[in-house]
Amino acid sequence: MNRSLSPIDVRDQSYSTEAELQQVRDAAHALTLQGELRTLDPKWLLIDEGFTLAREHETESLFAIGNGYIGNRGSLAEGSALSAPATFVAGVFEQPNTPGSVPELMVLPDWTGVRIWVDHQPLSMQHGDVLEHRRILDFRHGMLWREWRHRDPEGRITRILAFRLASLADRHLLVHSVTLTPENYSSVIHFESSMEASAGAVSLLAPEWKVRRDSARPNVLPLALRVPGRDTIVAFGLTSQMVHSHRSPGCRTMDIEPGRIMEHCEADLQAGAHCHLNRILSVFTSRDGSDPFDRSMEHLRQVVLKGTKSAVRAHTEAWEGRWQSADIQVEGDDSLQRALRFAGYHLISAANPDDSRVSIGARTLSGPGYKGHIFWDTETYIVPFFIFTHPPSARALLEYRYHTLEAARRKADSAGFRGAMYPWESADTGDETTPKAIIAPNGEIIRVPNGELEIHITADIAYAVWQYWQDTGDDDFFVSFGAEIMLESARFWASRGATESDGFYHIRHVIGPDEYHEDVDDDAYTNLMARGNLRQGATTAELLKERWPDRWEELRTRLLFHQDEVNTWRKLAHSMFIPFESKSLLYEQFAGYFKKEPIDLKRYEPRSAAMDTILGHDRIQKTDVVKQADVVLATFLLWNELSPEVRAANFRYYEPRTGHGSSLSPSIHALMAARIGEMRCAEKYLKQAAEIDLGNNMGNAAGGVHAAALGGLWQAVVFGFAGLTTLADGVSIAPQGLPAWKRLSFPLQWRGRTLRVHIEQDVVGVDTSGEEPLRLRLESGSEIVAEPGHEYIAKKTEAGWEPWQMARSSSKGAL
C-alpha cells in the first residue's frame, strides 16, 4: 500500500542546523567543484560517445564505479529499455530458494535513478533529439561523468552534467550529483529520484523491507532489507538536497511503497540558471557489526556535517595516492596506456584492504557474471598486482582463504581426503558453489565436474601465499595465517594421489587449466604445482620449528602433525610423476595428450566463437586444442626452476595449439612471448589482452569486467616486457620493449622498499627508497647493491648491457 509523507517545502524551511546549511553551500558550489575535478588528459579517460542501445549492458560494466566494498554499474540515471542497473556489496550473497541453486551476489536496490520532467514532459533520449551525449570514466579520480544535451519535441534545449562515485576514502559512502541547465527556456523542472530493487532480484515486502523516518534528521531517508537465504541485513541512509541559482531551494516530497522509495523535487528555473541535485548514500551491513541501521544514519550525519565537497576531495586524494604506487606509464602507445589505466582502475576498485572476509569475484563488483563467485583467478592473476602495488590489499585477499580454511577442510573430508581442498568456486562461506550443470551457447546441457576435479586451485592458493610472503617479508601474515594454509594444502596433496607400482606418485582424475579436457591423469600443471606445494609445506614446518616454535607447537597439537608426515611430503614431491620428454624438452600436458587428434587452428580463423562451441563439448576433448595457457602458465610460474631451452620449447609447441577460449589466456602468452624474445607474437597477444573488455573480445563484457584479464595485462607488461623477477635479496630486470615505446615506467613495492623503474630503448633506470639496500640485477648478469635514496642507470651498447652506475642521489628516494 502506497503512503506519502507530507511535503517538506524547503523554500519555506529555515536552515536550523549547520548540516543543512552545509548541504546548501555544497549544492551552490557544485559547478565550481565539478570544474576542479574534471580530468582533461584523454589517456586518463574512457569516453563513450552517443548511445547504442544494443551495447548498453556492456557499457554499464565498463563504466562501473566501486571501492572494494560496494560497486555500481554505469547505468543511465533515467534508465532505458535494455538498462540493467545494479549495486553490489562485497560478501552479500543471497541463496535462492530453488533446488540445486547456489549462492549468488545479491543485486541491491538501485540508488542512482533520477528522472526529469520539463513542464510535465519527460526528458528522454527516446523523444526529441540528442544533441550531445557521452559517459566519461575518469580513472585518475575514480569518477563516472555524464554529459547530455537534449532538445525535446517542443524545441527546448536542456543540458545535464552529472557525476557519481563510490568513495575510496570512505568505503561506505556513495555520491551522485546532477546539474541541470535550461538553455533556451524557463519552466518548472520536476525531478523524481528513486531507490528501488531490480525486478525479480528480491522480494522487499514487509517486514523484510523497513522504512524509518527520523524526525531529528528530516532530510534523511533510512531503509533496510534482509538478504534472502541469509541472515545478513543491509541498511541504507539516503539524503538529497536540491538548490538552484537565483532562487530559494526547491520543494521536496517523498512517496514510500514496498520495494521502492521515491523523492519528488520541483524548481522554477529561468533560462541559463543552474539547478543542482546532490544525493548521498551511506551503506552498512550486519557483516560490519551490530545495528547497521543506526551506523548508516550516524555515518551519513557525519558526512553531511563535513560537506559533500570535503567527501569528494577525500575520495580524489585517495585515488591520487593509489595511482602513485600503481600507474604504469607507456610513452608511444596511447591505446595501451589507456588500457593499463582501465585495468588499474578496475582492480583498485575491486579490492578492500579493510575486509579480509571477502575476495574479488571473476567479474568484480561490476556485473553479475559467474554469480559473483571467486575462482583461482584471484590468486594467480590478481594478487600479484596488489603484492607489488598495495600489499595490504593482497594480504586481505589471501586472508579470505584463511577464513574459509574450515570450509576447505570440510570439502576434503567429504571427498575422502585429508587437509584442505579449496572449492573451485566460492562465495561468502567458502563452501563449494560450482553449479552441477550449465547450458552451453549452442543449447547443450553440460555437466560441470570442475568442483570435484579442478583441484589445482589448492596449489594456486598456496603458491600465492608463498609468493606474497617472499615478496613482502610479512612474517606476521605468514605465521598467523599463511603457514596453516601451506600445511593443510600440503596435507591434501599427500592424500589426493597414490604411489603406484612404477614408484612414482600419480594424481589421477583431474582437470587442469585447459578445461577442454576433463578427467585426465597426471596433468603437468597440477602435478608441478602440487609438487611445489608439498615442498613448501615441508619448508613451512621447518621454518616454524626453527623461528616460531610456539606457533609450530600450537599448530602441531591442534592439527595433529607428526614429523613423519612432514618427511613424507618431501618424499612424495621427489617421486611426483612429471610427464616430461627429455629429448623434445616438452611437458606432456597430461597422460595421452600427445596422441590427441591434431587440429590446425588457422583453418578456423577468423572465428567469432570459442573452439569448444565450434567443435562441440565431446569432440574437442578428443583433439589437441588447448583452451588457455596451461603448460605455458606453469613455465612462467616456475620460471626459475626451468632452463631457457625448456621454457622456449614448451611455448613454441603449445602456443599454436591454444584456442584462447578464456580471457585469462592472451596476457600470459604475451608475457611468455616477451620473455623468450618472440616480440611479434608478444605484441599480438598484448593487443588482445588489452582489448578483452575495451574491445569486448570475448563477447560477454555485459556480465562485468574480466578481473583476471586486467591483472594479467599488468603482469604481461611488468613481468613480461619489463622482465621483472624477484630474487632472495632483490629484483632482476630483463627489458624487452616494443619499437613504438619511447619509455616504460612503473612503481614497485618490494619488502618495504619503493622502486621506480623506467625503461627506454637503450637505458634502464631504477630509483630506490626505503631503509634497506637491495640487489639489482640485469639480464646480462650485471648486479649492484642499490642503496636507498639513489637512482641507478644501466646503458645498452652494441656489446650488451653495461654495468649499473649510480646516477644521482634523491632526497625523496623515488622519481
Quick count: other Cβ atoms within 10 Å of Cβ 273?
17
Q: Mean pLDDT throughout 371-375? A: 98
User: Is the pLDDT assigned to residue 492 strictly greater than 90?
Assistant: yes
196 to 60, 234, 327, 446: CA distances (angstroms)? 18, 14, 37, 36
Which range has the worst mean pLDDT, 60-69, 287-296, 503-512?
A: 287-296
Which range has the worst mean pLDDT, 50-54, 124-128, 221-225?
A: 221-225
Active site amino acids: 515
Q: What is the pTM of this model?
A: 0.93
User: Is the pLDDT assigned to residue 340 strictly greater than 90?
Assistant: yes
User: Is the pLDDT assigned to residue 228 strictly greater than 60?
Assistant: yes
pLDDT value for 197: 57
Cα 384 to chain center, whole Å? Answer: 12
Q: Is the peptide bond before 182 cis (omega within 30 degrees of 0)?
A: no
Burial 469-508 (b: 16+ CB within 10 A, else e): bbbbebeebbbebbbbbbbbbbbbbbebbeeeeeebbbbb
* pLDDT confidence band for 286 (50 / 70 / 90): very high
Query: pLDDT tens digits for 665-724?
Result: 999 999 999 999 999 999 999 999 999 999 998 889 999 999 999 999 999 999 999 999
For the chain, domain boundaries: 18-322, 743-814
Q: What are the residues facing 179 on neighbouring strands?
A: 161, 276
Torsion angle (degrees, nearest 10) of CA 123, 126, 129, 131: 80
Q: Give CA–CA dist 636/715, Å, rounded.
A: 11
Q: Mean pLDDT throughout 321-328? A: 98
pLDDT value for 734: 95
Q: Regarding predicted confidence, which is higher, 645 or 30? A: 645
Return the ∠ at Cα 590 (arms to 587 and 593), rounded to 5°.
90
Greatest alpha-carbon span in the chain: 90
pLDDT value for 442: 72
The secondary structure element, H or E, covering residue 293 is: helix 292-306
pLDDT value for 480: 98
User: Is the pLDDT assigned to residue 28 strictly greater than 70?
Assistant: no
- Cell 600470459, residue located: 668
Q: Mean pLDDT throughout 229-252? A: 76
Handedness of CA 605, 606, 612, 618 (dihedral sign): negative
CATH topology for 18-322?
Beta-galactosidase; Chain A, domain 5 (2.70.98)
Cell numbers standing for residue 728:
632472495
pLDDT value for 219: 65
User: Is the pLDDT assigned to residue 33 strictly greater than 80?
Assistant: no
User: Is the pLDDT assigned to residue 468 strictly greater than 50?
Assistant: yes
User: Is the pLDDT assigned to residue 432 strictly greater than 50?
Assistant: yes
Query: pLDDT tens digits for 406-424?
Result: 999 999 999 999 999 999 9
Q: Give CA–CA dist 347/345, Å, rounded.
A: 6
User: Is the pLDDT assigned to residue 7 strictly greater than 70?
Assistant: no
Torsion angle (degrees, nearest 10) of CA 210, 211, 213, 214: 30
Query: pLDDT tens digits for 265-276?
Result: 889 999 999 999
pLDDT above 90: percentage of residues in the chain: 77
pLDDT value for 205: 35
Q: Mean pLDDT throughout 782-787? A: 93
* pLDDT confidence band for 573 (50 / 70 / 90): very high
User: Is the pLDDT assigned to residue 435 strictly greater than 80?
Assistant: yes
The secondary structure element, H or E, covering residue 790 is: strand 790-797
* pLDDT confidence band for 315 (50 / 70 / 90): very high
Q: Regarding predicted confidence, which is higher, 652 or 213? A: 652
User: Is the pLDDT assigned to residue 809 strictly greater than 70?
Assistant: no
pLDDT value for 807: 86
* pLDDT confidence band for 16 (50 / 70 / 90): very low
pLDDT value for 34: 59
Quick count: other Cβ atoms within 10 Å of Cβ 422?
30
Cα 264 to chain center, whole Å? Answer: 36
Q: Mean pLDDT throughout 317-330? A: 98
pLDDT value for 132: 96
Q: Give CA–CA dist 157/79, Å, rounded.
A: 20
The torsion angles phi and psi of 160, rounded to 5 degrees, stand at -125, 130
User: Is the pLDDT assigned to residue 21 strictly greater than 80?
Assistant: no
Q: Give CA–CA dist 150/582, Å, rounded.
A: 69
Query: pLDDT tens digits for 730-754?
Result: 999 999 999 999 999 999 999 999 9
Cell numbers standing for residue 541:
614446518
pLDDT value for 815: 31
* Sequence-ordered strand ranges (E) for 600-726: 725-726
- Mean of the per-residue pLDDT values for the chain? 90
Q: Mean pLDDT throughout 160-170? A: 97
pLDDT value for 237: 87
Local structure of residue 11 (DSSP, 8 states): G
Q: Give CA–CA dist 232/235, Å, rounded.
A: 10
User: Is the pLDDT assigned to residue 201 strictly greater than 60?
Assistant: no
Return the ∠ at Cα 492 (arms to 489 and 496), rounded to 5°.
140
Which range has the worst mean pLDDT, 364-373, 445-454, 494-503, 642-651?
A: 445-454
75: CB partners within 8 A, 6+ apart = 56, 60, 83, 84, 85, 86, 110, 112
Torsion angle (degrees, nearest 10) of CA 201, 444, 59, 104: 30
